[in-house]
Structure 1
Amino acid sequence: MTLLSWPIALHFFRMNKRVRQVLILSLYLAVLFALYLVPLGMYSPCIKEEGTLGPAPTLIGHRGAPMLAPENTQMSFEKAVEAGGEGLETDVAISYDGVPFLMHDSTLRRTTNVHEVFPNRTDSPAAMFTWAELEMLSAGSWFLRRDPFRTASTLNVNEKIEVQNQTVPTLKEFLNLAAQHQRLVIFDLRRPPRGHPYRDTWITRTLEVIHNESFINSSQVLWLPDDQRSVVQELDPELQQTSGDHASIEELQEEHIVRLNLHYSYMSQEQIRKYASVNISTNLYVISQPWLYSLAWCAGVHSVTTNALHVLKKLQRPVFLMTPDQYNLMWILTIIVSAFFITAVFIFHWWRERGLPFWSGSRQVNENGPYSKFRTGHPKIFNDHRQSGAHLKDSTH
């Protein structure tokens, strides 16, 4: 509105009708006053009393560190650990011969070279491949070719070679890496399509890997799948039951949920506090921007899933964190400065259009004023041109 004051003031003083002037000025002042009141109705969890900020949310690498290495590969998870991630997130499917492996999409087309190795099966479900077939695929070459986050140029020669050598990992390899570094894990589990040998036993097959084939502790696993939750809870009560449903507290407690995994659009400080009061923590996904992470931090979120572990880990405090007094002072000073400049703009145009000092009480336009729209040149030159015109007029008669 400060910038708009210049053209508004210019047209205001050039209007001939007083009614129009009053209408324009009234409308402008009404909008300006409303904008000045906006800060009073604004809310941010980062406006907090000093000393009330909680600990920073735990960082969980979304498919590892997908900005630094191909998603859902061993290299990606190793990068996430190196960047300081406290947890690792992935997606699990089960091969046709019963090997749980890491893959987000329902097909292999986006993140492998399946079009080169199996050109006739590019649209086939990933779960319909045997493990021997999956081992033949590259899970990293696409990263250098597509550069999804425009970060491939930051990799050195050795890292680019490592990227090209990435293969599809098994769930066992993923869990053992997490166990080795004492990291939490959370994963989506895809049910195999119809006609798959493990269509009805995919839950128990996954539990077999956790219990018998890997050396991870069950307490490190945030168990997200909703299917057969009561059975899973009975088989392994140490798993941290995690839900993606925005359900009531009563429903969550009945299912022994200890953590919620929600999209960040559900972020509400009131809801987060309500869940925390009954020992249900909250994880939000996918948060990769520092300002959004700051809001989650201020709201008391327990953990976030992120693509940018290496960026968020460097934040020492939330962005724009301030006390209510600091916030009010900032806006009061902003309003005062804005009002001063707006007033100065109107005074300047008032003086320019009348050619009078702003302290003059006269409303008569001064034709000899420096900004008179009737004269832009030097007085002597202007008079000489006027006299010359008069002589020419006399000579024509």
Structure 2
Amino acid sequence: MKSDKSFLWRYRFWYTVFWIFFVNILIFSLIILLVRPLWSDINYFVSEFTNLKFQWLMLLLIVSIFLTGYGLFLIIRLSPKRITKNLNKIALFPRIFLIPVLIIWDFMLFLLISIGGDEIGIVRTGLEYISPIIFFFLILIMTFSSQKIIFNIIKIWEEIKEQERWKFTFNKDLLIIAGILMIILFGFILPFIFIPVNVIQGDIPPKPKLMAHRGASHLAPENTLIAGQMAAEIGAIGWEVDVSISYDGIFFLMHDSLLKRTTNVEDIFPERINDDATMFNITDLRLLDAGSWFSDDDPYETIADEFVDLQTAENFRGEKIPTLDEVLNLTRDYNLYIDIDSGKPPKEHPFYNQYDELLINQLYDSGLNEKIITRLSSNLTKNMTKISSSQDIASLLEEEVDLLNTIHTLSNDQFQEYQDANITVMVWTVDTVQRFSQVWFLGVDFVKTNALHLLIPLETPVWTINSQGYNLIWTISIILSLIGATLMYILRNRKNLN
């Protein structure tokens, strides 16, 4: 008896561990796939930490898929139909290996979420986009499991009927069955509770206007004149640029505080590779090559995928860091909007205190007026387009801002509230046609993107369906599921009788 109990305990423990391992790694793999737009940034972060350039997330995905398959293999091997009282058939390796791997993978998931920051919200939006597929497989699973539930319900009911009314005692199996039925019922109504935004009742809103994030930054080196020119020629209405100030007081474009990611500073000034970009004077900055890194690294695989031809990529070599004067002139020539993302230099910089004033004066002198989108505020910015990142509707209305600039992963309800309050919304940074389709349905007005080559050609969202058709499809699916479960029960019962 004691041996049987020990066996049962060990069996349940390891079977539970295998299931936890399988589900955990499966979820991790799905998250890796859903954060595909962030792969480049995360790979760069890990490469900086390890000092080794590599497609880290691709490697992690491959290993995770293998581990998911291994977990499924262990579950099948230890399934109730196959198990014997010889648990030694489970090799020592998985019993030692699984729990440490599970801990490591969960730690990596924590790091992934931390590195992704607010952008990790694309996991939620990605799940919403594929939710009809998830619901479909969920209904299939419930269809095949329901016939077993029906069999057990009838069996328990027959046992209850055989008992005398006054001798009836509570049956814990009945409670379990009732709980499972509630779960199945909830699964059936899920499609009617979590309705994807692609399901619409009226007309499709107008297509959001596209702003090129750091220029056409997946097609050309970011924050360069060629990136701005390509954005205009492709069809963007404007571009967002990151404005820094040199040590001698000249504004230039650069996103990172360091120059090593997007220039050849380690070749020209190897002793200054870790110096802040704003600590260089403009003459030194203009010596740097801000284009070859794109040609060499193909960071977004647009050269490999032939969105950028090899000759064009070669022409990026030698591209210079542009001054703000050059950028404003290009903006005027192409009649673009320009979103100024300003970043103050370190406090020890000689122009730290004057940064805002100098920048406002230069923007004002450009005469671009409402074509300039800025967060800065003074008497000189009154004719410019005022933008705010505050998500509070009352504050936005009180400040009388022209645009709300926010991350694209806000909830659907929040976007609806902005639309109801007639607040013009610009979101950043949308790089997939799937998410672009979603914010299109949400009525967003402007979208910042790195992936102009994917979003400009879209004439309609990727997929849509009206609410009546959506409800009809799921109603029919549930009815067919119940019919299928009943038929499977009848066939199983007939087989048992035979």
Question: Scaled by the length of structure 1, what TM-score is found?
Answer: 0.78
1:170 equivalenced with 2:323 (yes/no): yes
Kindly provide the CA deviation profile for residues 119-144 of structure 1, in whole angstroms up to 9, marking residues without a partner as x: 11111111110011001111122223
CA distance in 1, matches of 2:445, 2:149: 55
CA distance in 1, matches of 2:296, 2:361: 37
Q: Secondary structure at the match of 1:78?
A: helix
Match of 2:442 in 1: 299
Long gaps (5+) in structure 2: 1-137, 157-170
Q: Aligned to 2:207, which of 48, 53, 56?
A: 56
1:112 equivalenced with 2:263 (yes/no): yes
Kept in 2, the 8 Å contact 1:272–1:299? The answer is no
* Letter paired with 1:291: Q
**Alpha-carbon distance, 1:88 to partner:** 0.4
Kept in 1, the 8 Å contact 2:364–2:381? The answer is no
CA distance in 2, matches of 1:8, 1:41: 21
Instruction: Return closer, same or farther for 1:132/1:326 CA change in 2, 3 Å cut-off.
Output: same
CA distance in 2, matches of 1:87, 1:147: 24
Deviates more, 1:310-319 or 1:121-130: 310-319
Deviates more, 1:164-173 or 1:24-33: 24-33
**Alpha-carbon distance, 1:56 to partner:** 1.1
Match of 2:234 in 1: 83
Match of 1:271 in 2: 417
Bigger-Rg structure (1/2): 1
Long gaps (5+) in structure 1: 356-397
Match of 1:383 in 2: none
CA distance in 2, matches of 1:14, 1:340: 18
Deviates more, 1:262-271 or 1:304-313: 262-271
**Alpha-carbon distance, 1:319 to partner:** 3.4
Match of 1:342 in 2: 485
Kept in 1, the 8 Å contact 2:246–2:281? The answer is yes
RMSD: 2.6
CA distance in 1, matches of 2:228, 2:193: 43
* Letter paired with 2:419: R
Match of 1:127 in 2: 278
* Larger relative contact order (Cα-Cα within 8 Å, sequence gap ≥ 6): 1
Identity of aligned residues (%): 30
1:224 equivalenced with 2:368 (yes/no): no
Instruction: Return closer, same or farther for 1:330/1:9 CA change in 2, 3 Å cut-off.
Output: closer
Match of 2:141 in 1: 3
1:42 equivalenced with 2:199 (yes/no): no
Higher helix share: 2
1:159 equivalenced with 2:316 (yes/no): no
* Letter paired with 1:56: K
1:261 equivalenced with 2:412 (yes/no): no
Question: Scaled by the length of structure 2, what TM-score is found?
Answer: 0.63
CA distance in 2, matches of 1:144, 1:24: 61
Kept in 2, the 8 Å contact 1:6–1:346? The answer is no
Kindly provide the CA deviation profile for residues 93-123 of structure 1, in whole angstroms up to 9, marking residues without a partner as x: 0011111111111111211111111111111
1:207 equivalenced with 2:360 (yes/no): yes
CA distance in 2, matches of 1:272, 1:45: 16
Instruction: Return closer, same or farther for 1:353/1:11 CA change in 2, 3 Å cut-off.
Output: farther
Kindly provide the CA deviation profile for residues 247-287 of structure 1, in whole angstroms up to 9, marking residues without a partner as x: 343x33454411110111235233222441xxx41101111
CA distance in 2, matches of 1:312, 1:118: 39
Kept in 2, the 8 Å contact 1:109–1:115? The answer is yes
CA distance in 1, matches of 2:487, 2:235: 53
Q: Aligned to 1:240, which of 385, 389, 405?
A: 385
**Alpha-carbon distance, 1:42 to partner:** 2.4
* Letter paired with 1:42: F
Q: Secondary structure at the match of 2:215?
A: coil
Kept in 1, the 8 Å contact 2:213–2:429? The answer is yes
Instruction: Return closer, same or farther for 1:127/1:331 CA change in 2, 3 Å cut-off.
Output: same
Deviates more, 1:165-174 or 1:54-63: 165-174
Q: Secondary structure at the match of 2:494?
A: helix
Instruction: Return closer, same or farther for 1:194/1:20 CA change in 2, 3 Å cut-off.
Output: closer
Q: Secondary structure at the match of 1:185?
A: strand
